[in-house]
Amino acid sequence: MSKNIARYSVTPSTEVVLFGANGNALAYQDPARLILPVADNRFTIAKLSQLGSTVLKHLDKDLQLEDQSLNFVFERQRWLGAVRKLDMMVGTELYVLMVSPENELLEEANALRWQSLLITLLIILVTIPVIWLFARKISRPLRLLAGEANLISRFDFRSPISTRSIIKEVDDLSEAMRLMKTTISKFTELINSLAGERNLDSLLQRINLETMQISGADAALIYLFDEKENKLQPSALHDCRDGLLDSGAVAPICLAEANPLTLATTRKDSSLIRLDHQHSKQLRQLLKLLHSDHGDMIALPLRNREEELIGVLCLLYRHEEDLLNDARISFVQALSGFAAVSLEGRQLILLQKALLNAFIKLLAGAIDSKSPYTGGHCQRVPELTRLLAQAACDSTEPPFADFQLDEHSWEALHIASWLHDCGKVTTPEYVVDKATKLETIHDRIHEIRMRFEVLKKEAEIRCWQNIAEGGNRDLLAALAEECHRLDQDFAFIAACNEGSESIPPEQLQRLQQIAECTWTRTLDDRIGLSWEEKRRKARSPRQPLPCTEKLLADKIEHLIERSSQDRLPQNNPWGFRLQTPKYKYNRGELYNLQVQHGTLTAEERYQINDHIVQTIIMLESLPYPKHLQNVPKIAGCHHEKMDGTGYPRGLTAEPMPLTGRIMAIADIFEALTASDRPYKKPKKLSEALAIMAAMAQQRHIDGDLFRLFIVSGACLAYAREHLQPEQIDGIDMERLFPK
C-alpha cells in the first residue's frame, strides 16, 4: 500500500497516510518511517506526528477521527485535503488522510490559464488591427455623413455629398442625405435670392427663373390674378434656350373661360396639363415656348394666407419622363408655396407703400386745397428738392463728391419733402391767407370804410343843419374840403392795410393822428355776438348810447389770450427754442396797421411759424421703419438757418443734414417765385436768386448748395416747368457770386 501511495502521489508535496483509530500510521509513501526502533531491540509503529512531515505533525494536534474536508494555512501556504474513514471489516477503524499544497494542486490549471491568456492576447493583438481596419473602412462613410449632417445643420452647402459604402444601408443613407442637402440648398438659395429683392417685377422674374432651373423645366411662366378684370395676366416668362422673354408674347386668360388652366386655379394641388393643338389659342401659344408640337405643363396655383388666388406658376416640359415623379412634384409644390408667400409679402409691402404715398399726397393736396393762396406749394417743393438732390448726387466737385443717396434715402427725402408742411393743417386759414393787415376771417377795412362814411355823413348833416339854422352856404365848401380830407385819410389807411411796403416813422405818426378821430355809435355792440366774443367784451365797461369811439381802436376785446396748451415749455422734448408772444392774437386795428413789414403781426407770425413745430411733433409721433427714421429731422430743418437764427430749434449748419438744407432752398425758391399768392406778386427769376444770394452771404442758407442749384441747371429746369414765361429773365452769375 505504501508503494501504491508513493507511485500515485498527486503532487510532490502531497501527504497521504493510512492510519488507525489509535493514530498509528499503517501506510505511508516512505515505508521506512512507519517503524520506529525503541530500547532493547524493540520496534513500535509511528504516529502521524512521527512520520517526519511537519504538516502531518501540525495536523495531528487537532485531527478528529471523522470524515472531514481540510482547508488550512500552514507555513504561509494554503493546504487542501480530506480525512475519510475506510469500512473494511467489522471492528476495524482505518482512516485515510490526504493533504496537498493548493499551489501544487492548481499548478497545471494555472499554467493552462496563463497559456490561454497568452493565446487570447496573441489572438487579440492579431485581430485588433484587422478589426480596426475593417471598422474604419465601414465607419468612414458614417463619419463623413456625420460631418455632412453637421455642415447641413450650419447651412453649409458648398461641398457635394459623394460618400460611397460597401454596406447597402449606409449607401442608401448617403444618397438620401445628398438629396436632402440638394433640396435644402436649393431652398436656401431661393430664399436668399428672393429675400433681398424689393422690386416686384424683379421678384417675379427671379421666382420664375429659379423655379425653372431648380425643377429642371424647359420653360416657366407666372400668371398674376387681376381681380378687377377676372383675368390671369402673364407677368414673367423664361425658357431654358432664350432666357428672359417678353411676357406680352402670351395672351391673358379670362377665368370665365373653360380650359384646363382655369380649372387648375380651383384646385389646391398641382395639375398636369397635356399641351397640344386641340387646346384654346392661349394655351397653344405656350407650345411656342417649347418649340414643339406637344408638351406637358405642371400648373401650380399660388395662394395667399387666406387661400385666395394670387396667380399661377406654370412649368413646361418637352418630355414627360419625370413629370409624374412624386418627389419632383412635392418639391415644386413646396417651391410654389414659398413663391406665393414671397409674392404676397412683396405685394403687401407695395400696397402699403402705395397707400402711404397716396395718403401723403392726399394730406399735401388737402393742405394746398385748404389755402388756395398756397396751392401747389406742397407739390412743387418735392419736385425742386428732387432736382437739387439729384444735382448733388451727380456732382463730382467738393463738397458733394462723396454725397450719394441710396434707395432708402431717396424714399426718406421724398416723404419728408411731401410732408414738410403737414403742420399747416393746424394753422387757421385766415392766418395763412392773410393778404391785408386788417384781415381776419374777413377784411376789417370794410368796417373802417363804413366809419369814414359815417364821418362824412355826420359832416354833411352838421353842414346842412348849420345852413338850415341860417348859416352861410359857404359851409358847403368846408364840407367838401372835410370830405376830401376824409377820403385821403381812408386812402392812406387802405394803402397801409395792403402791407406792400414798410411804413416810415412819419406815416406811423399820421396813423396815430387819424386814429384819434372819433365817430358816434348809437347801436349796442354787445348783441348778436358769440358767447366767446361776449366774454371778451365783458372785460371792459359798457358805455351808454350814443357813445363816441375812436376811428381806429385797440380794444381789450381785440386781445385773444393764449391758453396753457398753446405754450411750449423751455425744456420741451423736441428742443424747440421759440419766443412765445403773450397773446395768441392781437386784433387791434391800429396795432395791425402799424405792422412794419408784410401783413402779419408778431402773434400771427408765431402762429405761421408754429406749423413747422406741429410738423415735427406730428412726424415724430409716427412709427417709422429704420430707413425712414430721419424723415422728421429732414422735414423739420427747412426753416433753420446756417447761422443758428432759424426756427424752431435754432440749429446751425453742422447738426442739419444736407437733405434738410436742400429742402430749405427748395422751400424758399418756391415761395419767392410762386404765382398763386394774392398777397404778393411773384418774383422774377433774377429777383428771387438775388434775394437768395443775399441769404447765402448772411449764412441763412447753404452757399455751396445755392451755387450748385444754379450751376447744375436745376434752377432753370424748374423755372421752365413751373414759372410764368415773363418771370424767366436770365441769371447774372457775376452779380450773384461777386469775386
pLDDT per residue over 310-327, tens digit each? Answer: 888 888 888 655 454 666
Nearest Cα to 192, choosing from 210, 204, 171, 168?
A: 210
Greatest C-alpha distance within the chain: 217
Supply φ then ψ for residue 518, to 5 degrees: -120, 160
DSSP state of 391: H
CA 275 – CA 494 distance, rounded (Å):
85
> What is the Cα Rg of the chain in Å?
58
Nearest Cα to 4, choosing from 25, 24, 23, 27?
A: 27
Q: Which own/partner pairs from 22-27 qualify as long-range (CB within 8 Å, at least 24 positions apart)?
A: 23/47, 23/48, 23/60, 25/50, 25/51, 26/1, 26/94, 27/1, 27/2
Give 392-420 pLDDT, tens digit per residue.
999 998 889 999 999 889 999 999 998 88
Contacts (Cβ under 8 Å, ≥6 apart) of 610:
423, 426, 427
Does residue 630 sit in helix, strand or coil?
Answer: coil
User: 279 or 359, which is more confident?
Assistant: 359
pLDDT at 272 over 90: no
The type of residue at 20 is: G
Contacts (Cβ under 8 Å, ≥6 apart) of 588:
553, 554, 555, 558, 559
Please tell me whether the peptide bond between 12 and the residue prior to it is cis, using omega within 30 degrees of 0. Answer: no
What nine digits make up the cell of 630? 430721419
- Strands of 189-332, DSSP E: 219-226, 231-239, 243-244, 253-254, 271-275, 295-303, 309-317
Answer for the pair 298, 315: CB distance below 8 angstroms, yes or no: yes
pLDDT at 234 over 80: yes
Nearest Cα to 384, choosing from 718, 722, 730, 723?
A: 718
Does residue 284 sit in helix, strand or coil?
Answer: helix
Q: Please tell me the predicted confidence (pLDDT) of residue 657.
A: 92
Q: What separation, in Å, do the N-terminal and C-terminal C-alpha atoms of the chain show?
A: 150
Which residue shows C-alpha cell 429777383?
687
What nine digits make up the cell of 60? 495531528
| Mean pLDDT, range 27-41, rounded to an integer | 83
b vs e for 83-122, b when ≥16 Cβ sit within 10 Å of the residue's Cβ? beeeeeeeeeebbbbbbbbeebbeeeeeeeeeeeeeeeee
Range in 162-176, 263-277, 640-654 with the lowest mean pLDDT: 162-176
CA 568 – CA 610 distance, rounded (Å):
11
CA 530 – CA 542 distance, rounded (Å):
17
| Mean pLDDT, range 269-287, rounded to an integer | 75
β partners of residue 585: 560
Give 185-199 pLDDT, tens digit per residue.
776 776 676 666 666
DSSP state of 47: B
β partners of residue 519: 549
DSSP state of 542: P
Answer for the pair 59, 52: CB distance below 8 angstroms, yes or no: no
Q: Please tell me the predicted confidence (pLDDT) of residue 700.
A: 93
Q: Please tell me the predicted confidence (pLDDT) of residue 193.
A: 66
Answer for the pair 336, 368: CB distance below 8 angstroms, yes or no: no
Answer for the pair 599, 625: CB distance below 8 angstroms, yes or no: no
Q: Please tell me the predicted confidence (pLDDT) of residue 634.
A: 92
Q: In the 3-class helix/strand/coil scheme, how is 427-445 assigned residue by residue?
A: CCHHHHCCCCCCECCCECH
Does residue 188 sit in helix, strand or coil?
Answer: helix
Range in 573-577, 588-592, 610-614, 679-683 with the lowest mean pLDDT: 679-683
Nearest Cα to 289, choosing from 209, 213, 202, 220?
A: 220
Q: Please tell me the predicted confidence (pLDDT) of residue 731.
A: 86
User: 167 or 551, which is more confident?
Assistant: 551
Q: Please tell me the predicted confidence (pLDDT) of residue 669.
A: 92
CA 310 – CA 225 distance, rounded (Å):
5
pLDDT at 733 over 90: no
Nearest Cα to 260, choosing from 237, 232, 229?
A: 232
Which residue shows C-alpha cell 416668362?
237
The type of residue at 168 is: K
Question: Per-residue DSSP letters for 454-483?
Answer: HHHHHHHHHHHHHHHTT--TTHHHHHHHHH
- C-beta atoms surrounding 415 within 10 Å: 22
Which residue shows C-alpha cell 376789417?
444
User: 674 or 340, which is more confident?
Assistant: 674
Answer for the pair 34, 28: CB distance below 8 angstroms, yes or no: yes
Average pLDDT score over the chain:
83
Q: pLDDT class for 717, splitting at 50, 70, 90?
A: very high
What nine digits make up the cell of 524? 349796442
Answer for the pair 618, 581: CB distance below 8 angstroms, yes or no: no
Query: Which stretches of 554-630 are DSSP H helices?
Result: 589-593, 602-620
Give 518-553 pLDDT, tens digit per residue.
988 888 888 888 888 888 888 888 889 899 989 998
**pTM, 2 dp:** 0.65
E strand or H helix that includes residue 697: helix 685-697
- C-beta atoms surrounding 143 within 10 Å: 11
pLDDT at 434 over 70: yes
Please tell me whether the peptide bond between 648 and the residue prior to it is cis, using omega within 30 degrees of 0. Answer: yes
